[in-house]
Amino acid sequence: MNNNILEIDDLHVSFNTFEGDFTAVNGISLGIKHNESIGIIGESGCGKSTLSFAIMNYVAKNATVHGEIRFKGEDMLSMNDHQLRSIRGNRIAMVYQNPYSSLNPARTIGFQLDEVGIFHQNLSKAEAKEASLEALTMLNIADPEGVVSRYPHQVSGGIQQRICIAMAILCRPDVMILDEPTTALDVTTEAVILDSISKLRKQLNMSMMYISHDMGVINKVADTIVVMYNGEIVESGPKVELFDSPLHPYTRSLINCLPRGGVVKEKARLHTIKGYVRKRGAHETGCPFRERCEKYTPTCEERYYMREISDKRYASCDRAYATDVPSSDDKKKPIEIKEKPSDVTKPLLTLHNIHKYYPNGKKRVYAVNGVDVEIPPSSVLGIVGESGCGKSTIGHMISGLYPPTHGEMLFKDQNISIAWNKRSHDVLKEIQLIFQNPGRSLNPSHTVEQLISRPMKVLSTFTNKEQRTQEIERVLKRVDLGKEYLSKKPQQLSGGEQQRVALARALITHPSLLVCDEVTSALDVSVQASVLNLLHELQSETGSSYVFISHDLHVINYLSDYILVLYSGKVCEHGLRDDVMNNPKHPYTEALLSARGEVDPKVKRQVIDISGELPDPTKQGVGCPFASRCHKKVGPICDTEYPATVVLDGGHYYNCHIKEAVK
Amino acid sequence: MSYFVFQLKRNPLAIIGIAILLLWIIIAIFAPVITQYTYTEMQPEKQLVAPGEANHLLGTDELGRDLFARIVYGSRSILTVALLTSLLSTILGVLFGFTAGYFGGRVDALFLRAMDILMAIPPLVLSMVVLGILGDSSIGSLTLIVSIAFIPATARVSRGVLLGEKELEYVSSARLRGENHLYIMFVEILPNTVGPIIVEATARFAYSIMMVASLGFLGVGLQPPTPDWGMMVIENKPVITEAPWAVLFPSLAIASLVIAISIFSDFISKVFTHEQ
């Protein structure tokens, strides 16, 4: 055990709150070797971040910490502030989730970087500056000299996070702890940053602890994987073996509930985990996962402890493939999809050359710049693109939050290029919008009954109160919630339950078009899977259409019939799901596909680096908007001329000067 | 509610504040039971009796009126006016602030300028001038005028909290089902803003006490024979050297009530901010 640089021994962290004492970290033992990269994975509320803060001996006032954390053999929990200061940021560096709030907005980037060298290594100003520039260069930041004189808000989120990482590696730390560093970033940026993190670790001989909820991300950066659930480690082992044959039912479920490896709705339902992560009381015993586990047996009431199952593989359970408890695998059968009427000719919704400009001071922000698309009845259109590409704006215009600046939207032959206040009740009823964050879209002061019954009162013809109650109960049941939820308020529900209520509220008016704006992005993977299953079931049952907006290609791939790829408010590519996913024609689609994370460690994909800057949204460019980042730029024509649309079979088209090149 | 108790247990100062406030409320309600004297009864033979003597707990004033009775009955008028004022100014403030914040644009600009004008005149000066011109200070007119003087503060606070809530998607969601503006403002948004509004209302309560007492002191408050603490201070000022108690006790009454309400207001604000 002596070659472990960082050792955690039976660590407990509990918090004393108004609701009582609860445990965030419960008896964790963990060792990180020299040059090792450990990935910690688990859903939100599993104590991952608390663990990382406890390592730095940096916890909230109402926390109690027991156990030992040894850094190079010395116990960090018994160190005083002075001793800790020489380790924090110097020998153990940390990178947090949100770069914007970790950087001081009032100081230049250079000042903040230099400070690290001056404080920890007693460098002179000139030396510190040199070290800062070197660190920035290591992270492939173009023009480091220009960057140091800027303020954090003047660079993009991706660059900000790279600066935070540069700051962390400045002292050449022995251990680097990264807490969800790429979660707030776009997939393409994320892929590039993960790539440089892996390279840096080898180059600088660092040990690393990488915390994430995303299996795809962990797969890219870690050698050893630790799975946490409710404050306990439930399994650990080398990456390939762990992903290949998970030992703990939780690990197995977590891997299975991802829409990954090209799984689509026609082939399989997603695996789900029942229930949700619950705060754990300070004196609870037994397996933390037992109440959600499908392999539950009475022995789970006692603590199993971590055991070595096979070489280097530890788990606190060995029942992942147990045969005495039947798996509920029959649930995985895909639900029957009704044959769509083949003679459908009229689209349900047509967007014709729509534009949206926002005023921004004296300037204008061009959010959507001429999008044409059709949505046939009973089908799902997935809109995908990075943040700022205009996908949400399109969804909001369709649902009527604001009208398009130019262009026409036709819904069942009616012109709906108008905002909500001018739309008829029929149109409002027929098009429903579901938001990303149910905590914000459900009024916290209203009960579930009020929330769901209100649209009915306003928009539907149900005047009879009894009828309404019956209808509400029916819809609630449809989204797998019982009558007992009627009197609850949103705060009493988990994120998944809240999103189900939001879904029920949308369904109650029997809409024929549902706009889903990143509806699963705020949810944990296990909950995401059940919501996706539900969305799919409801869609094929009611024959309604969805506009499904997401940044996650796996999710889009699972649910969509058609895919629309957007960039900078313009269409890159549109087509049937399989055409776009398997035969991408636009370089941007290709880059997006290359950046998505996989859970299978055997799949190796070359990430296409499109790390350039996005075009300025306040200017209307003449050329292809993607030209500044494109890895397949044809020549000057890309900057000067917007490409003509290339139409292929089956409604598949793309806008690029490359006619054949992409294979 | 249980959270209220939880916080109260760890906050002894708040317990004292709330106890004093409750004590004053009980005194106001049960005034006739508490004292055998009336506040107007003059006993010429008992002028400036010292506290505790001749059956007068707090002594008497220059006209031989029982100070204790005047303070006890004085709590009625001051609490009534202050309570009504904080209620009315909160209601008016929410109405103005919500309308301005919700509609935004020109409505909001007009509102802000109007509030600037109103705020340019200190509330005390404003009330004093208006009451002086009216020449009549009943509980009704006093309440109305002090409330109007307080509108800018409450309106700005409610406008502020509304602006934060307006951006949340539940408001968009209500619009998309065709709700009217009044429903969105008062059924959707209002319940989520009660915390800061109640905090503001309790703060206004303390200010109202100060204001009513100050107006009484300046002679434009409630008119005699209604006992008013502020008025009692000024009435007995000429005899301050012979009978300091006649000034001291009404001043203590004002101070204890204002401080008690301020402590209560701070505590309420703590409870509400923690809940969110």
Cβ A420–B178 below 8 Å, yes or no? Answer: yes
Radius of gyration from C-alpha coordinates of chain A: 26
Grouping H, G, I as helix, E, B as strand and the rest as coil, residue A600 is coil
Summarised one tens digit per residue, pLDDT across range B83-132 is: 999 999 999 999 999 999 999 999 999 999 999 998 888 888 888 888 88
CB-based contact B173 A433, cutoff 8 Å: yes
pLDDT given for residue A142 in this prediction? 79
Q: What is the mean pLDDT of residues B195-207?
A: 92
Selecting from A423, A425, A440 the residue whose C-beta is nearest the C-beta of B169 gives A440
What's the per-residue H, E or C state across A509-546? Answer: CCCCEEEEECCCCCCCHHHHHHHHHHHHHHHHHHCCEE
Instruction: Kindly identify which residue of chain B lies nearest to residue A397, measuring between CA atoms.
Output: B176
Q: Which comes out higher in pLDDT, residue A521 or A576?
A: A576
- At A335, the pLDDT band (50, 70, 90 cuts) reads low
DSSP, residue by residue, A299-348: GGGS----EEEETTEEES---TT-SSS---GGGGSPPPPPPPPTT--S-S
Give the relative orientation of helices B245-275 and B12-29 as an angle to the nearest 10 degrees. Answer: 120
Question: Residue holding tokens 């116990």?
Answer: A75
Residue position matching structure tokens 């490359």 = A658
* Chain B environment of A441 (Cβ under 8 Å): 168-170, 172-173
Strand partners, A76: none
Given this model, what pLDDT does residue A618 score?
A: 80
Report d(CA A636, CA A623) in Å as an integer.
9
Dist CA B95 CA B89 (whole Å): 10
The pLDDT tens digits for A339-361 are 665 556 688 999 999 999 988 77
Chain B residues whose CB is inside 8 A of the A420 CB are 175-176, 178
- Chain A environment of B6 (Cβ under 8 Å): 18
In Å, how far is B240's CA from the nearest CA of chain A? 52
For residue A614, name the pLDDT band (cuts at 50, 70, 90): confident
DSSP sequence for A177-194: EEESTTTTS-HHHHHHHH
A216-230, A474-488, A591-605, B177-191: least confidently modelled range: A591-605
Whether the per-residue pLDDT at A120 is higher than 80: the answer is yes
Q: A640-645: long-range contacts (C-beta < 8 A, 24 or more apart)?
A: none
Give CA–CA dist A37/A532, Å, rounded: 33
- Chain B residues with CB under 8 Å of a chain A CB are 3, 6, 168-170, 172-179, 188, 191-192
Q: Which of B172, B173, B178 sits opposite A459 (nearest CB)?
A: B178
Asked if A462 is an interface residue toward chain B (Cβ–Cβ < 8 A), one would say: no
Helix (H) or strand (E) holding A469: helix A465-478
Rounded percentage of chain A residues whose pLDDT exceeds 70: 95
A91 versus A183: which is more confidently predicted? Answer: A91
b/e burial code for range B139-163 (CB count within 10 A of at least 16 → b):
eeebbbbbbbbbbbbbbbbbbebbe
Q: A399 CB near a chain B CB, below 8 Å? A: yes
Query: A458, B178: Cβ pair inside 8 Å?
Result: yes
Q: What is the pLDDT of residue A662?
A: 44
Q: Tell me how far apart the alpha carbons of residues B173 and A443 are, in angstroms, rounded to a whole number.
A: 9
Mean pLDDT estimate for chain B: 88
Give A 584-603 residues with CB within 8 A of chain B. Answer: none
Interface test with B, best of A431, A443, A514 (most B CBs within 10 A): A443
Q: Is the pLDDT of residue A279 over 80?
A: no
| Alpha-carbon distances, residue A47 vs A28, A76, A124, A567 (angstroms) | 10, 19, 40, 37
Residue A547 Cα, gap to closest chain B Cα (Å): 16
Terminal CA-CA length for chain B: 14
Mean pLDDT for A618-643 is: 85
Query: Tell me, what's the pLDDT at B91?
Result: 96
Partners of residue A70 on adjacent β-strands:
A7, A75
Instruction: Read off the tokens for A193.
Output: 């940053």
Q: Closest residue of A to B186, CA-based?
A: A445
Q: What are phi and psi of B151, to 5 degrees?
A: -55, -45
Name the residue among A3, A206, A187, A244 with its Cα closest to residue A95. A206
CB contact under 8 A, B172 and A441: yes
Which residues from A are below 8 Å from B175, CB to CB? Answer: 401, 420-421
Cis peptide before A152 (omega within 30 of 0): no
Contact B175 A442 (CB under 8 A): no
pLDDT of A607 strictly over 70 = yes
Say which residue, A378 or B53, is predicted with more confidence. Answer: A378
Shortest CA distance from B169: residue in chain A? A441
Q: So what's the ipTM on this one?
A: 0.82
Contact B169 A400 (CB under 8 A): no
Residue A169 pLDDT more than 70?
yes
| Nearest Cβ partner for A401 among B172, B188, B192 | B172
Distance of CA B264 to the CA centre of its chain: 13
Per-residue pLDDT, A19? 75
In chain B, whose CA is at the least distance from the CA of A490?
A: B170
Inter-chain residue contact B179 with A399, CB threshold 8 Å? no
Q: What is the pLDDT of residue A609?
A: 78
* Residue A661, pLDDT score: 47
What's residue A616's pLDDT?
78
- Angle of helix B67-103 relative to helix B190-217, nearest 10 degrees, comes to 140
Mean pLDDT of A60-75: 87
Q: Is the pLDDT of residue B276 over 50?
A: no
Mean pLDDT, all residues of chain A: 86
CA distance B114 to chain A (A): 25
Q: Where is pLDDT greater, at A458 or B137? A: A458
Instruction: Give the one of A18, A423, A445 whose C-beta lies nearest to B191's C-beta.
Output: A445
User: What is the secondary structure of chain B as a DSSP string?
Assistant: -HHHHHHHHT-HHHHHHHHHHHHHHHHHHTHHHH-SS-SS---GGGTTPPTTSTT-TT-B-TT--BHHHHHHHHHHHHHHHHHHHHHHHHHHHHHHHHHHHHH-HHHHHHHHHHHHHHHHS-HHHHHHHHHHHH----HHHHHHHHHHHHHHHHHHHHHHHHHHHHTSHHHHHHHHTT--HHHIIIIIIHHHHHHHHHHHHHHHHHHHHHHHHHHHHTT-SSPTTS--HHHHHHHTGGGTTT-THHHHHHHHHHHHHHHHHHHHHHHHHHHHHHH-
pTM: 0.84
Q: Is the pLDDT of residue B53 over 80?
A: no
Residues making up chain A, counted from first to last: 663
Q: Binning pLDDT at 50, 70 and 90, where does residue A564 land?
A: very high
Could you identify the residue written with the tokens 């080898």? A202
What are A194-245's pLDDT values in tens digits? 888 988 888 888 999 999 988 888 888 899 999 998 888 999 999 888 888 8
Helix axes B67-103, B105-120, angle to 10 degrees: 150
For every residue of A117-130, DSSP letters joined together read HHHHH---HHHHHH
> If we measure between CA atoms, which residue out of B242, B245, B210 comes closest to residue B86?
B210
pLDDT in tens, A477-518: 888 888 889 999 998 888 888 999 999 999 998 899 999 999
Structure confidence by residue, pLDDT tens digits, A395-420 = 999 999 999 999 999 998 889 988 88
Q: Would residue A111 be called left, alpha or beta, if left means φ above 0 and alpha means ψ between -120 and 50 degrees?
A: alpha
Which residues of chain B lie closer than 8 angstroms to A421, CB-CB? 175
Positive or negative: CA dihedral A463, A467, A470, A476: negative
Residue A1 in this model has a pLDDT that exceeds 50: no
Predicted confidence at residue A332, as pLDDT, reads 60
Please indicate whether, in this complex, the C-beta atoms of B176 and A420 are within 8 angstroms of each other. Answer: yes
Residue pair A288/A232 in contact by the 8 Å Cβ criterion: yes
